[in-house]
Structure formats: C-alpha cells, structure tokens
Amino acid sequence: MITTVTSKNMISIPVEVCRQLGIKPGFRLDWQAVDGKDEILVRVLPTRGELARRLQGSGCKFSPHIDAIVELIKEREQDN
C-alpha cells in the first residue's frame, strides 16, 4: 500500500491497516526513523482505556482469595 504525504506533512492510513491494527480516531502513533535506512518504524500506542483493560484483573495473582471489588464496596459502605 502506498500513501502520499500532503503539503502539511499529513498522511492517510490505509483502511486495511487500520482494521488489522484496530486503529481508530484519537489513537496515537510513535514514529521512529530506522538508522541507516530509508525506513520508518511506526508503533500504535495503546489508549488509556486499552491500558486499563490490559491491567484489569492483573492484581488477582497477588491475592487470589480476595475479591478486590467486593472489598472496595464494603469499605465504601463503612465510610457512609
């Protein structure tokens, strides 16, 4: 796939690439020039929501017998 850089240094990402990588409006891309080559490495940076989704439940391995959500609800009920 070939794209063209506009006069304002903007490009369009091909639809196929967006679908394959799940790129949507508002996503951030990290651009890095490859030393000694006419190449660019582009990484899709996860959104805050995606990072939160990846972390969801990760604390269970530290306390598998405690449901953190239930504990938080109990704690908040006691504060009222």
Q: Tell me the per-residue pLDDT of 29-58, one tens digit each, with 9 for 90 and over.
A: 999 999 999 999 999 998 888 888 888 877
Q: Strand ranges (DSSP E) for 7-46?
A: 28-33, 40-45
Is position 71 within any domain?
A: yes
Is position 3 within any domain?
A: no
Is position 7 within any domain?
A: no
Q: For tokens 């604390």, what's the residue? A: 59
The count of structural domains within the chain is: 1
d(CA 74, CA 76): 5
Is position 68 within any domain?
A: yes
Q: Span 56-76, mean pLDDT? A: 78
The SS3 assignment for 48 reads helix
Please give the residue range of the domain that contains residue 46: 15-79
When pLDDT is cut at 50, 70 and 90, the band that residue 26 belongs to is: confident
Is position 32 within any domain?
A: yes
Amino acid in position 40? I
